[in-house]
Structure 1
Amino acid sequence: MPQERSAYVELGYSGDFGLSGLTEQLCSPDRLAVDLPAALAVAAGLADGSDGEEAVELGEDARRLLDGPLSEEVLHTVWLAAAGRIFSPAGHGMDTRTWLRAISDLATDRLRQNKRSYVPPPVQPVRDEDLCREVVAEIRGLAADLTGASALPDLVPGLEQVVTLADADVGFRLFLRALKAYSVRVSKERYDRFLRLGERLGYPVAVVREGLDVDWPPIDTTHRDTSWDFGLSQLAGNAHQDWRADMARREVHRVADADEPGQSPGTAAALLLEDALRLLHSPLSDDTITTLWVAVSDAALRIDGRDWLRLVADVCEERLREVAPAYTPVVQPARTELADTVLLEVRETALAVADKAVSPHWQPLPAVDAMAVLEQVVGRVDPDLGFRLFLRVLRLLSVRVRRGQYERYEAIGERFEYGEYHVNEIEQLVQ
């Protein structure tokens, strides 16, 4: 993050915070309007969060705006837009500077509950020239849409002044809040740029994504848009021996609902559904599929394999109906040209794990049986899915991997177009 300030994600934030977090709470769907006592109560509740830690960002944001050479007109316009007109200090006989000072004082009083001698430190505005230039460019790129939606003709120049004269961090977050408050649609390309700016500023992803109206492209499972594992192999990686039948649906939801920041809503469910359907409709026997799930999940939830896959498919279809009702599930053609390459790796490892077992201390499954079912997946179903599940079994068996092997795995991952950290998850096994 610019200027040696701690990244907000490192401070434990998972959502919006500070003044932009306050405007988000004020814009709650169950509020039509907010009076001054209610607005102060919302601010006090935010400051009390995390034992007062959020009061630090709330007070800091207010002081960064107060310390800048911003006019009352600019402060009022930007605040009004970010708060979606839900609360206007002017409507309660208070100018915006007085309102911001009240927020700063409230935050300071909360912090003094833990340390009576607390004095707010000097503000640390973000004024990196390149960053400011990029944020201003994004504001100008949406100037017409934002002005039209908000009916505030001075909003765009006001936001620019906040960014360039006060603080690029607060300015960018208040810009995002205004976009969300007035439901301004942004392209996927612009959204990706927002994510990169947020990453530079140390934001949690939710600060950008949550509530933003993005023109998402249709789900395409050939473009996974993830740096990590996905689909059934990711679900297997989340499994553990404490899984219970009454928790199974919830555990599948955790993967099906967990779209990556750059993925169209429902992509995670579509990828998992494709894996499940591929195996459900495969020529593998029921016993083979059951053994496969035991092998890749460390013996979690020993049930009939096809029944399990039907449950997985049901959860994924439920998620897709909710967030991507126009999506039609497809099973892409298998990448069979890589079958022999993957089979060689599976067979080489099978020779080295003859004395090992999956879940060795509880209903062990011999590693040779695990490798045999993986061979069937690679050769008869899909080398891509088979390779991903193979990587999972390597981790379960703690197989030592030579550097040359690992480099071959990386090459296979590149040909399957995996994300940069996918194969990297087994790097700790390299000798």
Structure 2
Amino acid sequence: MPEKRSTYVELGRSEDFGLTGLAEVLCSLGRRSDRADALEVVAWLADQSDGEEAVELGEDARRLLASSLPDKILHTVWLAAVGQWFDPADHGMNSRAWLEEISELSTERLRQDRRSYAPPPVQPVRDEELRRSVAAEIRGLATTLDRADAPSDLAACLEQVVAQADADLGFRLFLRVLKVCSIRIEKESYDRFLGLGERFGLPAAVVHDGLNVLWPPVDTTRRDATWDFGLSRLTGLFVAGWHTTDARKHVRDAAAGDGPERTPGSEAAILLEDTLRLLESELSTDTITTLWLAATCRGYSIDHFAIGGRDWLRQIAEVCMERLRHVAPSYIPVVPPARTELAQEVLRELREVMPSCADKAVSPDWRPIPATACLASLEQVVARVDPDLGFRLFLRVLTVLSLPLTEEQYTRYVGIGAQLGYGEYHVFQVEDLISHG
């Protein structure tokens, strides 16, 4: 992508947009639209996001108009992307005339705020490597597309859009067609799509939402999360500042946080596994309560509401089971044996920071909890429950206490995280604690 062009994520996009966003809306109506209906949708979209949608609509339309693509290709791709729900030919227009209307209406919307607005020159993505990568994905599914309810030359037409107009728009139109035709996508292909989307600067939702992915079964041993996960992630979401009116809803939202890269239900299953490990352990309820309060920095003070640590974990488990029944009904929760090979290594790291915690406390200004008590609880988790869970909660408590770390400590933490299969940015959460003085 040209360096001067901002990514869509940087521009604040969070879902599909432009021509592919328009096609999605027209599809969602579930009926054939006439020209007036279609233009009304264009006008409505152009008014979204303070005119930013108008910019994207106009840009996409002009990318195709600036190409030398024949009308037959433009018509074939548009009809496939919109699921046949709006055909400009039914209203006496060829595809270029339809694109001109979109461009003009978008420009008109922008001129309501800036009378002198003139559309900038189009900036097609013509990176050869990206073109080849997108074309290869289209070619790999050409046979499947031919078997779908789509024109026999659709794959070739999509390739021409990528080659002659714009690799970015061609990729989005390809995704749109896959969604319209409900073509099942292998996880390996989906992962490549996510990678391409990231290179184009697309929001993950442009790839993920509506795509029929053949997900592997929920498996808590898969470490697909880039950041934190499970109970340690949940505690991070309950730090001071969260909305306190409905803690259970907050857990529901967390349990649904699979992200675009993981099988639906993965986060609920991992959170449930962490929760069951503690519930089924011999740790005292007071110890579990201390763990929660320490890792959340009293963001949700369950003791203030007379809720014991085990009772709260049972509520979390119930929410996870609800989520799994909905998205992964065949999943059977099983808590596998803890991985204990790193227990001594994690304990060494935990004990190394203890001397620097003697005068520190969690929530020092309101019902403080001595840092030594927090670390003693963590030590029990590492030694008696699960070193993995204990290390993740240890990273959380380090952040809560703002304990300074050396470069050597951080490097060792990264090594432990790598052995446990953590994602790229998991241990990164404590990088700011490194003391460079």
User: Residue 220 of structure 1 aligns to a residue in which SS?
Assistant: coil
Displacement, 1:242?
4.8
User: Residue 198 of structure 1 aligns to a residue in which SS?
Assistant: helix
Q: How does 1:389-408 map to 2 (within 5 A)?
A: 389-408=393-412
Pairwise CA RMSD of aligned residues? 1.3
Q: Separation in 1 of the partners of 2:219 and 2:314?
A: 22
Aligned residue number for residue 304 of structure 1? 308
2:107 equivalent to 1:103? no
After TM superposition, the score normalised by the length of structure 1 is 0.97
Aligned residue number for residue 412 of structure 1? 416
Q: Separation in 2 of the partners of 1:8 and 1:178?
A: 21
Change (3 A) 1:171 1:279: same
- The answer to whether the 8 Å contact 1:224/1:267 transfers is no
Aligned residue number for residue 362 of structure 2? 358
Aligned residue number for residue 8 of structure 2? 8
Change (3 A) 1:136 1:242: closer
Q: Separation in 2 of the partners of 1:32 and 1:312?
A: 42
Q: How does 1:32-71 map to 2 (within 5 A)?
A: 32-71=31-70
Listed as ranges, the gaps of 5+ residues in structure 2 are: none
- The answer to whether the 8 Å contact 1:256/1:268 transfers is yes
Displacement, 1:3?
5.3
**Which amino acid in structure 2 is aligned with residue 294 of structure 1?**
L
Displacement, 1:129?
1.3
**Which amino acid in structure 2 is aligned with residue 360 of structure 1?**
P
CA offsets 1:218-260 (integer angstroms, 9 cap, x no match):
1111112012110000011111235576411121122211112
Aligned residue number for residue 341 of structure 1? 345
**Which amino acid in structure 2 is aligned with residue 45 of structure 1?**
W
Aligned residue number for residue 325 of structure 1? 329
Listed as ranges, the gaps of 5+ residues in structure 1 are: none
**Which amino acid in structure 1 is aligned with residue 432 of structure 2?**
Q
Q: Separation in 2 of the partners of 1:14 and 1:25?
A: 15
- The answer to whether the 8 Å contact 1:3/1:126 transfers is no
- The answer to whether the 8 Å contact 1:8/1:203 transfers is yes
**Which amino acid in structure 1 is aligned with residue 284 of structure 2?**
S
Aligned residue number for residue 132 of structure 1? 131
Q: Separation in 1 of the partners of 2:139 and 2:315?
A: 48
Q: Separation in 2 of the partners of 1:291 and 1:297?
A: 10
Q: Separation in 2 of the partners of 1:81 and 1:163?
A: 16
Q: Separation in 2 of the partners of 1:311 and 1:39?
A: 48
Change (3 A) 1:404 1:160: same
Aligned residue number for residue 84 of structure 2? 85
Q: Separation in 1 of the partners of 2:419 and 2:171?
A: 38
Q: Separation in 2 of the partners of 1:97 and 1:243?
A: 50
- The answer to whether the 8 Å contact 2:80/2:150 transfers is no
- The answer to whether the 8 Å contact 1:224/1:263 transfers is no
Aligned residue number for residue 428 of structure 1? 432
Q: Separation in 1 of the partners of 2:297 and 2:77?
A: 54
Q: How does 1:75-224 map to 2 (within 5 A)?
A: 75-224=74-223
User: Residue 231 of structure 2 aligns to a residue in which SS?
Assistant: helix
Change (3 A) 1:287 1:312: same
Percentage of matched positions with identical amino acids: 62
CA offsets 1:178-211 (integer angstroms, 9 cap, x no match):
0000101111111111111111100000000100
Q: Separation in 1 of the partners of 2:399 and 2:356?
A: 14
CA offsets 1:132-180 (integer angstroms, 9 cap, x no match):
1111111111111112212311211111111101111111101100000
